[in-house]
Amino acid sequence: MIAAIVSCGISRRISHFPFKSLGLAAAAAVALAACSSTPVPVTETKPVLPQLLQAPAATQPTWATQLKTGAFSCEMGNKVEIRMDGRVTDGVTLVWKGSSYMMNPVSTSTGAVRLENKGEGLVWIQIPSKSMLLNSKIGQQLANDCRTR
């Protein structure tokens, strides 16, 4: 019979446990070793509140720093103009075929800049190499391969 083990102040008889399995023996050794380790001293904590109360610096959203503005020339002679609207924080004006549309940024997982006007169904997508204008209501490209010249 195996004698009683005193571990962390708790006494148990383990004579009824067969130690044929090495895994069980290893687990018991780890459990006993954990109880005999020295405790970690408690350190002083510092309040985080003053750091949280600091006002964040006024910065532009990520999409605004990536957005290319100006006149774009596209395939098939199409022209698109993109302007930041200073009156609205998240506002961008898209001018296409003589009409102006207020576009709102939409987050993407790809890093592309995506602006939408849900009412008109317009979607402007910018990637580093080109931009395109889509109509989501009819599922059609309106202007493709748009580039600033």
* Strand, coil or helix: 139: coil
Among 11-25, 32-46, 91-105, where is mean pLDDT lowest?
A: 11-25
Query: What pLDDT is attached to residue 16?
Result: 52
Average confidence (pLDDT) over 7-22: 50
The structural domains of the chain, ordered by start, are 5-36 (no CATH), 63-148 (2.40.128)
**Contacts of range 106-114, beta carbons closer than 8 Å, 24 or more positions apart:** 107/63, 111/66, 113/63, 113/66, 113/67
User: Tens digits of per-residue pLDDT, 106-119?
Assistant: 988 888 999 999 99
Whether this prediction's pTM lies above 0.85 is answered by no
- Three-state SS for 143? strand
CA distance 64 to 105: 9
Could you report the per-residue pLDDT of 31-90, keeping only the tens digit for each? 555 555 666 677 776 665 555 555 555 555 676 778 899 999 999 999 999 998 776 667
CA–CA separation, 77 vs 74, rounded Å? 6
> pLDDT digit string (tens) for 113-136?
999 999 999 999 999 899 999 999
User: Distance between CA 28 and CA 42 in Å, rounded?
Assistant: 28
User: Residue 144 corresponds to which tokens in the numbers above?
Assistant: 């493709």
Question: 69-103 as b/e, with b when 16 or more CB fall inside 10 Å?
Answer: eeebebeeebebebeeeeeeeeebbbebeeeebbb
Q: Hey, is 96 helix, strand or coil?
A: strand
DSSP code, position 128: S
Task: Compute the radius of gyration of the chain from its Cα atoms.
Answer: 32
